């Protein structure tokens, strides 16, 4: 189930430089005032050529379409951005999502789901569900869901919600890929201790601040908030990529263990030396390129392959 990717000699100097640059800001509390700074980080991701950005509304949720040349007909990607449920925007993530979409050969929609603290739980997951159902109602025949960090948590929560609707005829994603997913808002994973020094970006305190703004007193073990506690049976194949040097390492490992026990086809890749959602650092880390390529290959394969239980008249059903 788990694969370890060692830190390459080519990436070691870049990791050291990033760690030094980030050290002055580690542990700083982040709230809505950090939104411009956060967006600027992701806007810096190199854009893929031949990807067009279109403002759109899907399922009542505003966002952005990333349209790729020669997109696979009937296939699409739903991308749920990260930012601790407090930060992030569809526009900021267009370059990064365009990189994934181009590798998969499918158009991608990034919804601007509502952010905390203005819109606490369950606003974000409600919007994610609405966007997915909107894609299906607009004719998506095959869909995959992708997300990083809090968006990875939303992705996995969405899978369990949709699986529960399967008996009602709700069409299912054929696969999902998550990067450094935040699966447990109780913040009890052992890596909050074992990776406290290694993580160059986050501390338990920073994530506790995000969690408080999002939950606003609600139970952190609610499955729609923390997918680690959701029913995991009946989910589609999932790929998880996570850095070894991040406090959310246990969130990825524990979810993968539970999913495997539930019979889910799960792939977990741990990248040594890498920080949180390092994939967005394309052009900075060789590991970012390798991970995004592997994610693209996984998603492309899922969109090309019918599951054994799929209804040929509706490829999403039962997948």
Active site residues: 149, 246, 276
C-alpha dist (Å) from residue 212 to 30, 186, 195: 12, 10, 22
Secondary structure letter of residue 187 according to DSSP: -
Residue whose structure tokens are 């160059």: 200
**b/e string for 128-150 if b means 16 or more Cβ within 10 A?**
bbbbbbbbbeeebbbbbbbbbbb
Identify which of 73, 90, 71, 70 has the alpha carbon closest to the alpha carbon of residue 82: 90
- Cβ neighbors of 292 (< 8 A, separation 6 or more) are 99, 100, 103, 279, 282
C-alpha dist (Å) from residue 31 to 14, 160, 247, 276: 28, 29, 19, 18
Is the distance from CB of 151 to CB of 82 less than 8 angstroms? yes
| CA–CA separation, 3 and 145 (whole Å) | 22
Is the distance from CB of 68 to CB of 102 less than 8 angstroms? yes
Cα angle, residue 225 at apex, residues 37 and 287 outer, rounded to 5°: 50
Tell me the backbone φ, ψ of residue 165, rounded to 5 degrees. -90, 0
């Amino acid at each position: 189930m788990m694969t370890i990717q060692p830190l390459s000699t080519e990436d070691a100097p870049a990791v050291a430089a990033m760690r030094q640059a980030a050290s002055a800001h580690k542990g700083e509390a982040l709230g809505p005032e950090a939104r411009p700074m956060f967006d600027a980080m992701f806007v810096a991701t190199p854009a893929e050529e031949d990807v067009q950005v279109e403002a759109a509304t899907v399922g009542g949720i505003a966002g952005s379409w990333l349209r790729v040349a020669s997109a696979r007909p009937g296939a699409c990607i739903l991308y749920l951005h990260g930012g601790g449920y407090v930060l992030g925007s569809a526009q900021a993530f267009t370059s990064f999502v365009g990189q994934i979409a181009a590798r998969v050969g499918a158009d991608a929609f990034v919804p601007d789901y509502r952010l905390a603290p203005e819109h606490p739980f369950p606003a974000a997951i409600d919007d994610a569900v609405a966007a997915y159902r909107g894609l299906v109602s607009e004719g998506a025949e095959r869909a995959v869901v992708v997300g990083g960090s809090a968006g990875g948590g939303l992705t996995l929560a969405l899978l369990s919600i949709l699986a529960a609707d399967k008996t009602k005829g709700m069409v299912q994603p054929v696969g999902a890929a998550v990067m450094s997913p935040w699966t447990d808002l109780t913040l009890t994973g052992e890596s909050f201790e074992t990776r406290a020094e290694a993580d160059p970006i986050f501390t338990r305190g920073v994530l506790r601040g995000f969690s408080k703004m999002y939950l606003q007193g609600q139970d952190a073990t609610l499955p729609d908030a923390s997918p680690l506690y959701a029913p995991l049976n009946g989910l589609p194949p999932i790929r998880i990529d996570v850095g070894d040097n991040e406090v959310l390492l246990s969130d990825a490992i524990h979810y993968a263990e539970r999913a495997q026990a539930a019979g889910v086809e799960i792939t977990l890749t741990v990248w040594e030396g890498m920080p949180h959602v390092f994939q967005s650092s394309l052009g900075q880390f060789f590991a970012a390129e390798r991970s995004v390529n592997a994610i693209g290959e996984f998603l492309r394969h899922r969109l090309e392959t019918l599951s054994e239980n799929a209804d040929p008249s509706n490829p999403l059903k039962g997948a």
